[in-house]
């Protein structure tokens, strides 16, 4: 906001003047308030000191005779004063106990018991010791002064303090007799009335400051307008001239005797010189416009002649160019034909050689295919024989499995016979044992038969195990043989397919061999014919080159004429453009001059 006010001179003057008045007014108000406060406090202290001394004289006789009733009446009478809130009179008793204290009845801010004890201590010590205060709620502020009221040691101790936001002043008075204290007097006064006077003074000061600020703003605005208005008038005229819409017949008021009048006089002289300059520009612009029109007319005629010359040279150049292009194309075509024929001849010769090589390769391929067919037939026969042998082997394996099964059944029979024989031998042994001596020989034979039966059973078991192994291996052999048969059958089918494909390839190769042999013969004939055509195209190419040289000379001459015509036309056009621009400039000058009122 301050930057917005100080963008122009009027705002700056108003702000500076108002700020200066505001600072002076604030300083004066602060000084006045400080003096008022100091004077009020000084007068108040002098008054309460007088009241304390007067009260001390009034109660002196009562203290001497010990008339407490009269003392109480006088203390209550003094408490009726506006500023006095508490009195404490404490005559020294023989046991050292303090006297009575009274409070003002309508004062709730102060509990005098604690203030009394604190101030009595201050009177006794004759000093201020803020760090020695242990009373709850007491805030010691400033020790105002300590004076001797009489020639006898009778000091007055004055101290201000705060309690619950209110300020008080305590007056402590002590009398001495023969170096001993005979009584104590403490009076507490409220500063509420003084604070009210100071608050009213603050309000008056704030209102006065506000009124003074309004008056200073009005005065500053008037002074700023008196200074700035002539400057604004000059600014408007300069703005009109800068925007090209100025009235040069007007002038500023230069009758003022100050700096603004001098500046207006010089500005009027500037307007007079500017008016003369614009008139000269107007006259010269008209002359320039006339010359530009003449130059534009001449340059237009010159451009027309240059265009005609250029058209003729273009026609000649175009005809020679077309002839040159035709001959060049013919020569190029002849050369291309010659080169193409040579390439074709070489290609035909190479193709003939390649055909011969391909024919030989195809014949070798046919021979190889025949060998493959023979090998495929042989492989087919071998596969068929392997299939038959595998089938026979499978049958043999199956028979071997059957025989192994039969042998297994025989061994089972042998095992059962051995078991029966073992039982018979056991029965014989039992019978021989029951026969006694007569059956011993029979017992020996029975034991031998038993042993043989056991050996037969063991042998039959071993044979049975061998048979199981043979059966397992036979089963594996049968499975492997079955897989081999499948593989051989696949090979047989593949060989059969290969044999069929080889037979078809052999037929196609024979047909290809006949076709390539015919193509080789035709390529040889074509190469001989192309060689004869190439000899004829060389002559055409030489004749076309000679004709192209003559046409090239004609074309270069026509090109030189066309270049000269183009240069002349370009110069003429530039001259015309310059003259047109000059005319536009003269028109613009006339328009600019017409904006000013001369």
Assigned token pair, 142 = 């400033």
Strand runs (DSSP E) across 10-163, as ranges?
84-89, 101-103, 139-148, 155-163
**DSSP letter, residue 185:** E
Report CA Rg, the chain: 75
Is position 345 within any domain? no
- Distance (Å, rounded) from C-alpha 111 to C-alpha 137? 10
Alpha carbon distance 347, 569 (integer Å): 57
Q: In whole angstroms, what is the distance from residue 159 CA to residue 143 CA? A: 5
Residue 100's SS3 state is coil
What's the gap between Cα 583 and its chain centre? 57
CA angle 134, 135, 140 (to 5 degrees): 90
Of the residues 152, 175, 200, which one is the last residue of a structural domain?
200
- Whether residue 569 lies inside any domain: the answer is no
Separation between Cα atoms, residue 280 and residue 262, nearest integer Å: 28
CATH code, domain with 194: 3.30.450.20
- Is residue 588, in this structure, part of any structural domain at all? no
> Tokens for 355?
């055909």
Which of 464, 494, 528 marks a domain boundary?
A: 528
Residue 344 lies in a domain: no
Query: Do the Cβ atoms of 403 and 491 come closer than 8 Å?
Result: no
- The answer to the question of residue 401 being in a domain is yes
Tens place of pLDDT for every residue, the chain, 598 residues? 444 445 566 667 777 777 788 888 888 888 988 898 888 888 888 888 888 888 888 887 877 787 778 877 887 788 776 778 777 776 544 444 444 444 444 444 443 443 444 544 444 443 333 333 333 333 433 333 333 333 333 456 677 777 667 777 877 775 555 555 444 677 888 888 888 888 888 888 888 888 888 888 888 777 777 777 777 777 777 777 666 666 666 666 667 666 667 777 777 777 777 777 777 776 676 666 666 666 666 667 656 766 666 666 666 566 556 656 655 665 565 566 556 556 655 655 665 565 566 566 666 666 766 666 676 666 667 666 666 766 666 676 676 667 667 776 766 777 677 677 777 667 767 766 776 666 666 667 667 676 766 776 777 677 767 677 776 766 766 776 676 667 767 666 766 766 666 666 666 666 666 665 665 566 566 556 556 655 655 555 565 566 566 556 666 665 665 676 676 667 667 766 766 676 677 666 666 656 555 5
Number of separate domains in the chain: 2
Residue 304 within a domain: no
Q: Which domain holds residue 521?
A: 357-528
CB 432 within 8 A of CB 446: yes
SS3 for 123-172 is HHHCCCCHHHCCCCCCEEEEEEEEEECCCCCCEEEEEEEEECCEEEEEEE
Q: Judge whether 10 lies within some domain.
A: no
142 backbone φψ class: left, alpha, beta (φ>0; ψ -120 to 50): beta
Is 438 among the domain residues?
A: yes
Which CATH number do you get for residue 394?
A: 1.10.287.950
Residue at which a domain ends, from 167, 200, 233: 200
């Amino acid at each position: 906001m301050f930057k917005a006010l100080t963008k122009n001179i009027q705002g700056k003057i108003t702000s500076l003047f108002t700020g200066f008045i505001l600072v002076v007014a604030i300083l004066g108000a602060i000084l006045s308030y400080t003096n008022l406060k100091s004077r009020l406090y000084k007068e108040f202290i002098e008054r309460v000191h007088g009241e304390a001394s007067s009260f001390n004289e009034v109660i002196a006789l009562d203290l001497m005779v010990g008339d407490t009733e009269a003392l109480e009446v006088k203390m209550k009478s003094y408490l009726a004063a506006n500023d006095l809130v508490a009195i404490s009179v404490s005559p020294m008793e023989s046991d050292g106990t303090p006297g009575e204290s009274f409070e003002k009845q309508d004062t709730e801010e102060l509990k005098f018991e604690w203030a009394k004890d604190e101030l009595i201590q201050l009177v006794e010590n004759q000093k201020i010791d803020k760090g020695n205060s242990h009373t709850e709620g007491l805030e010691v502020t400033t020790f105002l002064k300590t004076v001797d009221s009489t020639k006898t040691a009778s000091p007055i101790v004055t101290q201000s303090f705060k309690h619950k936001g209110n300020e008080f002043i305590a007056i402590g008075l002590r009398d001495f007799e023969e170096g001993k204290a005979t009584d104590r007097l403490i009076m507490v006064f409220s500063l509420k009335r003084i604070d009210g006077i100071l608050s009213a003074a603050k309000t008056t000061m704030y209102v006065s400051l506000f009124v003074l600020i309004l008056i200073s703003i009005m005065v500053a605005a008037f002074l700023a307008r008196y200074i700035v208005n002539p400057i604004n008038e000059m600014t408007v005229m300069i703005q009109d001239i800068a925007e090209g819409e100025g009235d040069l017949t007007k002038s500023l008021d230069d009758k003022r005797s100050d700096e603004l009048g001098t500046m207006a006089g010089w500005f009027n002289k500037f307007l007079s010189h500017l008016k003369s300059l614009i008139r000269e520009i107007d006259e010269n612009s008209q002359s320039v416009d006339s010359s530009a029109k003449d130059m534009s007319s001449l340059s237009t005629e010159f451009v027309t002649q240059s265009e005609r010359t250029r058209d003729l040279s273009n026609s000649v150049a175009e005809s020679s160019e077309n002839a040159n292009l035709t001959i060049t194309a013919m020569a190029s075509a002849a050369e291309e034909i010659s080169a193409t024929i040579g390439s074709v001849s070489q290609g035909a010769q190479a193709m003939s050689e390649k055909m011969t090589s391909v024919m030989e390769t195809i014949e070798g391929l046919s021979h190889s295919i025949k060998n493959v067919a023979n090998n495929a037939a042989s492989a087919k026969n071998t596969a068929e024989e392997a299939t038959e042998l595998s089938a026979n082997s499978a049958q043999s394996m199956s028979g071997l499995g059957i025989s192994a099964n039969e042998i297994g059944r025989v061994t089972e029979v042998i095992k059962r016979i051995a078991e029966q024989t073992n039982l018979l031998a056991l029965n014989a042994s039992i019978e021989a044992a029951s026969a006694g001596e007569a059956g011993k020989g029979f017992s020996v034979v029975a034991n031998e038969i038993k042993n043989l039966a056991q050996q037969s059973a063991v042998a039959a078991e071993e044979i049975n195990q061998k048979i199981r192994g043979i059966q397992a291996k036979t089963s594996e052999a049968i499975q492997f043989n079955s897989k081999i048969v499948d593989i051989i059958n696949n090979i047989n089918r593949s060989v059969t397919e290969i044999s069929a494909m080889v037979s078809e390839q052999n037929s196609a190769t024979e047909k290809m061999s006949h076709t390539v042999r015919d193509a080789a013969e035709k390529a040889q004939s074509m190469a001989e014919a192309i060689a004869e055509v190439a000899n004829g195209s060389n002559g055409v190419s030489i004749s076309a080159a000679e004709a192209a040289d003559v046409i090239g000379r004609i074309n270069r001459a026509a090109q030189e004429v066309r270049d000269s015509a183009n240069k002349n036309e370009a110069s003429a056009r530039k001259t015309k453009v310059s003259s047109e621009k000059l005319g536009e400039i003269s028109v613009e000058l006339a328009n600019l001059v017409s904006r000013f009122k001369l």
